[in-house]
Structure 1
C-alpha cells in the first residue's frame, strides 16, 4: 500500500473510529518528514519535535471536528508551519521586551460595565459564527482561527480558491451585519474594527493568488 493511501486510511480511522493504533501509525508515517519540515523554521531539533508532537496532540483532541479535511498531510504540515511561526514570533517578542525595574506603577483601567458589555458582544459574535452554514463556518475557522491562506484552505478542502473567497465574504457580511446593531458602544466599534481588519487581511491575501 502506497504511503498516501496509508495516511488517508489512518486518518479516517482516527477521525471516525478514534483508533489509537491508526493514530500511532499516522505518527510513524509522517513524524520524520514533519520534524525536518519544521526545522526550516525552527533550527533546534528538540523544539521541532515538541511542535510536531503538539500538532498530533491537537489532532487527537479535535479529531471529531476535522471530517472536512480531504488532504490530511497538507493540513498537518500547515499546522506545523503555523505553530513553528508562532513559536518563532513569540521567542522574538520575548527577546525584544525591555523591563524597566523602576516602573512599578500599575494603572487600574478595569471597568466592570465595559468588561461585561465586551463579553456579551463577543458571545454574540461567537453565536453569529456558529450560525454560519457548515462549509462557510469551517472555511472561516481555518482562515481566521488557524491562520491558513485561502489557497491552503482550498487545497485541504479540495475546493476552488474562488469558493473560499466567496464563503469568507459571506461570513464577513453576516458578522458585520450582526455587529452593526451595536454601533453605539465603544466595545462594538472595537470588534467591528477587528472584523474590518480581518476582511482587509483576507482581501490582501486573496490578491496574492
Structure 2
C-alpha cells in the first residue's frame, strides 16, 4: 500500500497486491482494535461495526492517506475517535427518542415507503447473491435464522473463528456494495 511504505509487516510483502497487503494489515490488527472498541462502546457487535468502519475508511482513502511510523497507533486513534463518535450519536438518538410520546399511534407505511422498502430489500438480496456460496450460507444463517457463530460452526464443521472471519468479510463486502444507497447497520 502506498501509504505504508516502511511498515515492517508490509515491507515483507513487496510483491503483494494492495488488497493482499491490506488483508495482512487487517488480519494483524483487527482483534486488538476490536478489543479497544469493545472497551469503549461496551457491545461486541457495535464495536465490530466501529472497527470495520475504520478499515473501510482506510481502504477507501488509501491513495490519499499518509501514515509514517506508528500504524497501530494511527489505527487505535481512529478506532477510539470513531467509538466516541458512535457513543455521541447513540446518546443523541436516545435523547431524541426519550422526548417522543410513548403511546403515539402507529401509522401504516405510505405507498412510497413500502416501495422504497421493497427496493432496498431487492438491493440487499442482490448484494447477498454476489457473496461466495459459503459466505451466503453463513450470512443467512446468522442474520436471517438467528444462529450464533458457534451454532453455525457446529452445523458446518467449522471453527467459530472461521465463521467470524466469513461474517467479517461478508459485512465488509455488503457495506461497500450498499454504501451508495444508504447508511445500513449490517
Give the TM-score normalised by the residue count of structure 1.
0.40
Give the TM-score normalised by the residue count of structure 2.
0.45
Question: Could you say which structure has the higher helix fraction?
Answer: 1
| Higher CA-based Rg | 1
